[in-house]
Amino acid sequence: MPSCRAWYFDGHTAQSQPVILVWAPGADALKIVDPAGGDIAIWALSDVRQQKNFVQDGATLRRSDPQDLARLRVHGANWDALAPACPNRTKSDVPARKKRQVALWAATALASVAAMIFFIVPALAVTLAGLISPAREAGIGRMVEGQIEYILNGTSGGQWVCRNPEGQAAFDKMLAALAPKDTQGYTLSVQVVNIDEINAFALPGGQLTFFGGLLDRAQTQAQVAGVLAHEIGHVLERHPMEGVLRSAGSAGIISLLFGDATGGTVVAIVAQQFLNAGHSRSAEWESDRFALDAMDREGVDPSGLAGFFDLILEEYGGAAASDGWGASHPPTQDRAQAAQAAFDPNRTYTDILTPTEWQALKAICK
């Protein structure tokens, strides 16, 4: 008669005891006895179920009766010998009706989380952004900027910023020209970081950051001016603060569901949001309109903004054309067409910077 050793847990105490399992070929019962031969329990072999096993060697067994909390731990070769005698060991004891209920509950929970992430959190972000002062926004912006610098450059404290004084003075002049007189309490500032990508973003509080790769590839002042005015528009419309609240809210929900709700993951996800320059499509159109109005006010050629979008199309190809520069942006060719439509062939446009200042700006990271 086959037998093997195992460990028995009665389900009422944390103690385990060594046991011997005995079964007869063709029989329908598994006898559990202690080493002295005393009977402990008898399990019908058809009732034996194998639990999900987190230990590679052997198996944990239970009865199909949910009221019986007893467990058996069978190791290695012992389980290999016993397994063929347990015909229903992998059978599920969950009724089909219960499975359907669980599936329905899971689908409802998933729908609730999706509603929070895609509808409730964005709506709250818009409302809350209007309640936060520009000074407090600036503090949040510095925190996010530090995380972005670390992600992209592995440094901190602004070590990635290009500090050529002539180039910075030229950029400050362009910013002063394009910014409205009323900045709604924001202190706008612009900087260039030594990253070879075509990108720019606005942080909460008014910090505008350009990547050196954008200036390297820019062919005209109007292209840079269009992007700068666009980022100013984001700040004054409070899009960066809305983005922080939206991303932090969504990341917080995900962290609570899947772990790491300490804040580190939240800050990292918020930083990634700005690296991808992700705002809603309506926000991008609003900032485009702001940029074209600012360029019109200063007599800057609006087709420069269209030229920048052409650079994006050249750099990112079909992805930018079909889905926008990043998933949340409108198709880039549509934005280029809107900017080009603002061009007045009967008007004489001028540059904000002198040729010398423009060259200094282009060389700001050199």
pLDDT, tens digit, 9 for 90 and up, residues 236-259: 999 988 888 877 666 655 555 555
- What does the radius of gyration of the chain's CA atoms come to, in whole angstroms? 33
Whole-number pLDDT of residue 357 = 98
Neighbours of 318 (CB within 10 A): 8
How many whole angstroms separate alpha carbon 145 and alpha carbon 274? 9
Label residue 297 left, alpha or beta by phi (over 0 means left) and psi (-120 to 50 means alpha).
alpha
- pLDDT bucket at 105, cuts 50 / 70 / 90: confident
Indicate the number of domains in the chain.
Answer: 2
Residue 92 lies in a domain: no
- Mean pLDDT calculated for residue range 89-108: 83
Residue 204 lies in a domain: yes
Whole-number pLDDT of residue 262 = 47
Give SS3 for 193: strand
Question: Positive or negative, the Cα torsion across 173, 174, 178, 182?
Answer: negative
Q: Specify which residues 33 forms β-bridges with.
A: 20, 39
76 and 138 in a common domain: no
- Mean pLDDT calculated for residue range 112-134: 76
CATH number at residue 45: 2.30.29.30
Residue 36 lies in a domain: yes
Whole-number pLDDT of residue 261 = 46
- From 158, 95, 119, select the one nearest 246 (Cα to Cα): 119
Residue 91 lies in a domain: no
Of 85, 107, 137, the position where a domain reaches its end is: 85
157 and 68 in a common domain: no
Give SS3 for 24: coil
| 345 HSE (CA, 13 A, CB side) | 1
Residue 108 lies in a domain: no
- State the residue for tokens 């599920």: 92
Output the CA torsion 88→90→93→94 (10° steps): -150
Q: Which of 150-154, 207-211, 328-332 has the lowest mean pLDDT?
A: 328-332
Structural domain range at position 76: 3-85
317 and 186 in a common domain: yes
365 secondary structure, DSSP code: T
173 and 231 in a common domain: yes
Residue 95 lies in a domain: no
71 and 10 in a common domain: yes
333 and 209 in a common domain: yes
Residue 260 predicted with pLDDT over 70: no
147 and 204 in a common domain: yes
Residues 6+ apart with CB under 8 A from 305: 222, 223, 226, 227, 229, 230, 288, 291, 292, 295, 336, 339
Residue 295 lies in a domain: yes
Of 59, 85, 111, the position where a domain reaches its end is: 85
- pLDDT over 90 for what percent of the chain? 53
pLDDT, tens digit, 9 for 90 and up, residues 299-348: 999 999 999 998 888 887 655 544 444 445 677 888 999 999 999 999 99
- From 281, 249, 262, select the one nearest 128 (Cα to Cα): 249
- pLDDT over 70 for what percent of the chain? 84
Residue 69 lies in a domain: yes
278 and 140 in a common domain: yes
228 and 303 in a common domain: yes
Whole-number pLDDT of residue 195 = 94
Of 85, 115, 150, the position where a domain reaches its end is: 85
